[in-house]
A and B are shown apart, each in its own frame.
Chain A
Amino acid sequence: MTLKLDAKIPAGPLAEKWDKHRFEMKLVNPANKRKFKIIVVGSGLAGASAAATLSELGYNVSCFCFQDSPRRAHSIAAQGGINAAKNYRNDGDSVQRLFYDTIKGGDFRAREANVYRLAQVSVDIIDQCVAQGVPFAREYGGMLANRSFGGAQVSRTFYARGQTGQQLLIGAYQALEKEIARGGVTMFERHEMLELVLVDGKARGIIVRDMLSGEIESHAADAVILATGGYGNVFYLSTNAKGCNVTATFRAYKKGAAFANPSFTQIHPTCIPVAGDYQSKLTLMSESLRNDGRVWVPKRREDVGKQPSQIPEADRDYYLERKYPSFGNLSPRDIASRAAKEACDDGRGVGPGGRGVYLDFADAIKRLGKAAIEERYGNLFEMYQRITDENPYERPMRIYPAVHYTMGGTWVDYNLMSTIPGLHVAGEANFSDHGANRLGASALMQGLADGYFVIPYTIGDYLASTKLETVTTDHPEFQAARTVVEERTQRLLSINGTRTVDSFHRELGLLMWDKCGMARNAAGLREALERIPKLREEFWRDVKVPGSGAELNQSLEKAGRVADFLEFAELMCIDALHREESCGGHFRTEHQTEDGEAKRNDAEFAYVAAWEYAGEGKPPILNKEPLVFENVHLSTRSYK
């Protein structure tokens, strides 16, 4: 262990930590704020909310996104909702309960203090979003509506039809555009961060590529925030947008920012199954569907080819209701996903290739009427029909798990600062709040908590208490980082081999899904660790990237991202191999109970694995942050 991991968790009782910390943090004088420049990379929920809020406070902000508009960041695709401990239903919810559900849902691999703060600020997020004009669903009395989500027995999820992420992002985007108009934020669309710049060990800027002109630009600042999302696209097929990538956080890792729990990836149980080998992405069907849909497969293998309507009730296995009677179809994501895999592995999967289970709304339609179901899920049903050409009102949906979210990410302390001073990381890009499994409707909550209510405080403390020399882009460190980027770009363009970037990405994705996906074991991971370097070597020898660097070149953009995935995949497998336990989304087949449930090993693995880059060709160094549970009792997670 070479890094000193200090989580900087404030002392005192859990419920008072954040308040106390807010008081103790140093403030930046309002007149001095404009003298500080802050770079925000990414314009999703975390990035847009941070950029807008920091600009409102008076900081001088530059925000970067690779899309053509900040409104298109992938937060926009979140469907189901956002959790908040409002207790509007009077059903027993509280900050403590949301905290506990999230810690337990994460299989006791998250930091107590961070999660408690998340639950505390959750209520402010809803107030803020309503004030911005986010059109959440309402009841006839004019009050906000709620729905239930997996892993909770209270109804605390706020939603805007099946487009909650879109509406929250549009809210943050509008706040951002307001600040752009005011001159507080300079927006750089179609710019991709390709390198982090450190001066005197502190994050002082970034190198980006203007994706239209191809120009490599340097930008200097007093602090850098990465809000660049997750790395689910390492699997090629995932529910992520095509552009989602690991480059920003992986470049930061190579500059010294420890990467935590990279193997903690979430497989979402309700996605539309893979249809063919040309498939470019997988489409999620919101978890909210499990409020009214019942999951089943035929009891007998010989029935899988039959029309679902011809399989009588008695011959159906509603396996979630059978195995987990108290949570049933609302079991957490990791559990529901694994149960689907088991049913299919048992030869009882339905649809092409036998990789699918039914999600059936017949009972709900009978009970509530078609109109009520249409009101709740109309857009999702339409989407399903467009993709599959099947009518889910008449025939059960076919669903199968798919990679959806990554709990792992850059290690950050309580202030959301990485192991590089001045480099803060927010939203899905950090590792902080979801442990080994994220509960539904908690990603939106965390992204906005980080951006609206945490980073704006903690970054002020960093700026007020740190001595920062004036740094411009003429500094040799900027020149050096630029050269690295230019040379890498040139190298990619000059290989001129025989295989396309996508063909490498697909091969890597299949390997990762197979060996480091829903279930993992030592033999498979070792095999992956042998094959990844070979694939990477082949990539750098035989990839074909057409065109030049001085123009819009989508193949070149992809090549850079896949090159990083080819290195990052190895880190994921190393982490998965080292963690000799099953927890949350990390299921090691060697570590399971007799009835196939995950077997955690708290004695040896109740820690965050923060990996430190050790140099080219050297194995990464494992640093451990022990997880101390003072307020919850580590129990075996049971949803039975």
Chain B
Amino acid sequence: MSGAGTAQPMQLTLNVWRQKSPAEPGRMVKYPAKDISPDMSFLEMLDVVNERLIQAGDDPIAFDHDCREGICGSCGLMINGAAHGPMKLTTACQLHMRSFKDGDEITIEPWRAKAFPVIKDLVVDRSAFDRIIQAGGFISVPTGTPQDANALPIPKPDADLAMDNAACIGCGACVAACPNASASLFTAAKISHLGVLPQGQPERSRRALAMVARMDLEEFGGCSLFGECMAVCPKGISIDAIQRMNRDYAFAMATKSDAKEWTGAA
């Protein structure tokens, strides 16, 4: 055990991507990060650096963040070339400075993908993810009075598998880590979540067709099954989801007479 608050402060150097606006070119800038406690979270370390920048009359580093407990999916930083940094199954906000050592130089960049343009510094536009969900990532049930919840028994393994995939936080690390900048793991997680449940069956084919088509339209790359996405996913979503997506897509293309309509409609 570390004994919170007793550890020695660290002297670090940051290399941070600074970009004033989408139109202006960005560049790496070096900042000292002095007297950093190993018990700080990574974002708290950035807070400390920002407070000092403001005091010195400089522009603080912009980064997205909100819940700071690894569930909202707002934060997303490339830390030393790894999406969300060195800890497995951990978002940047849950990464703690004890993962680094005194004297380290840390490189911090935004997600890099054509479909995620940089807005400012480390903030990117991930609205393409919302549009993929709009294409079919839902079950078309209006608010009303559906049947009793227990009228539809669902085997526990199916419910668990749905939950494993529903755990996606939409952070975009999978895209950032992928050499092709593919959104396959994100899209497949939603297709798997809904596709393994009985409620999701009526729209299963249409969902796969429309979501995959939208993913392509947003200029995400194709999937070559490198598996980098799974390695960085903070929620441990398995690449098996992509096989499920491919199977649903192929099945729909082969068997649904209106397949073209759904892929084109997106």
Chain A residues engaging chain B, CB cutoff 8 angstroms: 49, 52-53, 56, 67-74, 76-77, 86, 88, 124, 126-133, 135-144, 160-161, 163, 166-167, 170, 173-175, 177-178, 180-181, 187, 189, 212, 239, 241-243, 275-276, 278-281, 283-284, 351-352, 382-383, 386-390, 395, 452-453, 456, 498, 500, 502-503, 544, 546-547, 551-552, 554-555
Contacts and interface: CB of A to CB of B under 8 A. Distances in A.
Interface string B27-49: 00000000001011101100110
B126 A56 contact: no
B143 A175 contact: yes
A76 B138 contact: no
B245 to A, nearest CB: 16
Given A135-B166, A135-B197, A88 B70 contact: no
Given A127-B148, A132-B199, A178-B138, A137 B66 contact: no
Task: Identify which of B4, B148, B159 gathers the most chain A CB atoms within 10 Å of its CB.
Answer: B4
A502 B144 CA distance: 45
A70 B2 CA distance: 38
B156 A132 contact: no
23 contacts: A67-B72, A70-B130, A72-B67, A127-B146, A130-B149, A131-B199, A138-B155, A140-B156, A143-B153, A160-B166, A163-B71, A167-B166, A181-B135, A187-B130, A189-B130, A276-B39, A278-B48, A390-B1, A500-B55, A546-B54, A552-B62, A555-B54, A555-B60
Contacts of A178: 134, 138, 140
B186 to A, nearest CB: 12
Contacts of A177: 130, 133-134, 137-138
Contact of B127 (A170, A189, A552): A189
A500 B130 contact: no
Interface of B: 1-2, 4-5, 20-21, 37, 39-41, 43-44, 47-48, 51, 54-55, 57-60, 62, 64-74, 87, 89-90, 94, 96, 98, 119-120, 123, 125-127, 129-130, 133-135, 137-150, 152-156, 159-160, 162-163, 166-167, 169-170, 193-194, 197, 199-200
Contacts of A173: 133
B197 A128 contact: no
A92 to B, nearest CB: 18
Contacts of B155: 138, 140, 142
A71 B143 contact: no
Contact of A174 (B60, B87, B119, B138): B138
Nearest to B166: A135
Nearest to B22: A212
Contacts of A243: 66
B129 A69 contact: yes
Contacts of B21: 551
B67 A68 contact: no
Contacts of A163: 71, 167
B138 A552 contact: no
Nearest to A141: B153
Given A133-B139, A180-B134, A76 B71 contact: yes
Nearest to B69: A283
A136 B89 CA distance: 22
A280 B150 contact: no
Nearest to A129: B149
Contact of A280 (B43, B144, B147): B43
Nearest to A390: B1
B193 A133 contact: yes
B153 A68 contact: no
Contacts of A555: 54, 60
Contacts of A212: 119
A243 B66 CA distance: 6
Contacts of A144: 149-150
Nearest to A382: B89
A278 B54 CA distance: 16
Given A77-B71, A242-B65, A546-B58, 13 more contacts: A72-B170, A76-B67, A77-B72, A132-B141, A136-B149, A139-B156, A163-B71, A212-B119, A284-B69, A389-B4, A500-B51, A500-B54, A544-B55
Contacts of B39: 275-276
A138 B199 contact: no
Given A136-B159, A389-B2, A49 B37 contact: no
Contacts of B120: 551-552
A192 B1 CA distance: 42
Nearest to B170: A71
Given A128-B143, A241-B66, A278-B48, A69 B170 contact: yes
Contacts of A456: 143
A447 to B, nearest CB: 14
Given A352-B5, A386-B96, A552-B119, A68 B54 contact: no
Nearest to A182: B134
A278 B87 CA distance: 22
A166 B71 CA distance: 8
Contact of A74 (B2, B67, B94, B135): B67
B162 A135 contact: yes
Contacts of A387: 41, 94, 96
B123 A74 contact: no
Contacts of B41: 280, 387
A198 to B, nearest CB: 30
Given A67-B74, A124-B145, A280 B133 contact: no
Given A133-B200, A242-B66, A388 B4 contact: yes
B57 A546 contact: yes
Contacts of A56: 142-143
A456 B143 CA distance: 10
A242 B68 contact: yes
A171 to B, nearest CB: 9
B120 to A, nearest CB: 5
Nearest to B162: A135
Nearest to B142: A56
A555 B155 CA distance: 49
A131 B127 contact: no
A127 B44 CA distance: 41
B62 A554 contact: yes
B127 A69 contact: yes
Task: Identify which of B94, B141, B148 gathers the most chain A CB atoms within 10 Å of its CB.
Answer: B141
Contact of B94 (A53, A142, A383, A395): A383
B1 A142 contact: no
A142 B153 CA distance: 4
B119 A127 contact: no
Contacts of B125: 68
A266 B87 CA distance: 33
Contacts of A127: 145-149
Nearest to A88: B150
B44 A278 contact: yes
Contacts of A281: 68-69
Given A56-B142, A133-B162, A386-B96, A280 B74 contact: no
Nearest to B150: A143
Contacts of B90: 386
